[in-house]
Structure 1
Amino acid sequence: MKVLFDTSVLLPALDVKHTQHEACYKLLKNCEANAEVIVLNTHLMAELFNNLTKQPRLAITVAEINLTVHRLADRYVNVELNMTDYLAAIDRCTSLGLRGGVVYDALHFQAAIKAKVNVLYTGNLRDFERLKTEEITFGIKSPY
């Protein structure tokens, strides 16, 4: 099985002080134990770095966060989003009449399409469900 984690799942999995840490960390470890292919995408890496570096409660340096991001990129399957993918995400939002920040979720959604995942894991079910259209066959689930 192939799964994609968005930032709302991977960030809590890494941050032991996050309120959803236990559920997200358990999901990540279960996926690893079941030899599921864990997919990350280029957009996620920037979001993750942004969110981790603005967490004042984390007792790690920016250099350590950088190292963590690099280790994740080395450990899991990476899906690179190119201009065609960004435009497809924007087109999806446009065709569904969606505006604003949902485009960032649409980038994760496009990565899931591109990687042909079975499940996209997110903490924002409502936002991702509204991006789904008839031809989408993967599931959208939350660990919490």
Structure 2
Amino acid sequence: MPSCHENCHRQGGSHRRAQESSRALQPGRGHGVGDRGPRRVPADLPDGCRACTPEEEGDSGAPRRRAREPGRHGVHPGGARFEEPPNSPRGRRVVRVLFDTSVLVPAVVDQLANHEAALDALLSYTAGEHAGYCSTHALAECYATVTALPLRRRVLPVEARRLVEESLLERLTAVPLTEADYVEAIRRVSHGGLGSGVVYDALHACCAERIPVDRIFTYNLADFERLRPAGIVVAGP
């Protein structure tokens, strides 16, 4: 069973394609600077890492919603705006999504092959009326994975902390895990004869059921499908 770190390690070989995808998301503006002056973009993040920053107002003049603070919305540096996925148009239905670590890591590291799809999912489902979530455990997993990635320039601990705080916590609602979540996760994997790191996927699944959400976005599809979270669609971005 591949761990999140192993999945992200394998993605690291497509540096050029990921960088081209990242540049394609940044039309017409300087890095992290909009018409209203500089925005809060970390200037010293390593090559290949991106922090989502507060977006300007939408075309209608109405501000977009941020996960924690209504009226603000983050974007990839350069001001690229998302396009709403055709299966979830704004205003028709609120979609509540829990993001697994295997999606969050490539969303903030553009040297990974799945960066473009992961980032698009993060931007799309944390904007408008949609709601994005992660478990608090996922934050620690992201920090651990990002600081261990074999990038051309390693991500320093302080840089990883800023990615978590500025790219993830500014967009997602982090849901604390409870004792009951841990008990249920261990019960579920033990009954299924599953071991090792799949218990961490079970924690995310239990968190998703408790919120509850409509979807879990993950690249560990096989593990989550074995866990069978009740009433939740498991999909890749």
State TM-score, norm by structure 1: 0.90
Write the letter of the residue equivalent to 1:93: V
**Alignment partner of 1:95 out of 191, 197, 219:** 191
Once the two structures are overlaid, the 10-residue window that deviates more, 30-39 or 97-106, is 30-39
2:236 matches 1:142:
yes
**Residue 73 of structure 1: CA displacement?**
2.4
Write the letter of the residue equivalent to 1:62: P
Q: Deviations over 1:94-131 (max 9, x none)?
A: 22222222111101111111110000000011110000
2:182 matches 1:86:
yes
Structure-2 separation of matches of 1:5 and 1:101: 17
| 5+ long unaligned stretches in structure 2 | 1-94
2:136 matches 1:42:
yes
Structure-2 separation of matches of 1:54 and 1:117: 30
Write the letter of the residue equivalent to 1:25: L
Greater RCO (Cα-Cα under 8 Å, separation 6 or more):
1
**Alignment partner of 1:10 out of 77, 99, 104:** 104
Q: Deviations over 1:12-64 (max 9, x none)?
A: 11110001111111111221344311001111011000001112315543212
Structure-2 separation of matches of 1:117 and 1:17: 29
**Alignment partner of 1:31 out of 101, 106, 125:** 125
Write the letter of the residue equivalent to 2:111: K
Match of 1:61 in 2: 156
State TM-score, norm by structure 2: 0.56
| 5+ long unaligned stretches in structure 1 | none
Match of 2:226 in 1: 130
Is the CA contact 1:40–1:73 (under 8 Å) kept in the aligned structure 2? no
- Percent identical pairs in the alignment equals 38
Greater fraction of residues in helix: 1
Larger radius of gyration: 2
Once the two structures are overlaid, the 10-residue window that deviates more, 81-90 or 25-34, is 25-34
- How many aligned residue pairs are there? 141
Is the CA contact 1:120–1:138 (under 8 Å) kept in the aligned structure 2? yes
Once the two structures are overlaid, the 10-residue window that deviates more, 99-108 or 53-62, is 53-62
Give RMSD over aligned pairs: 1.6
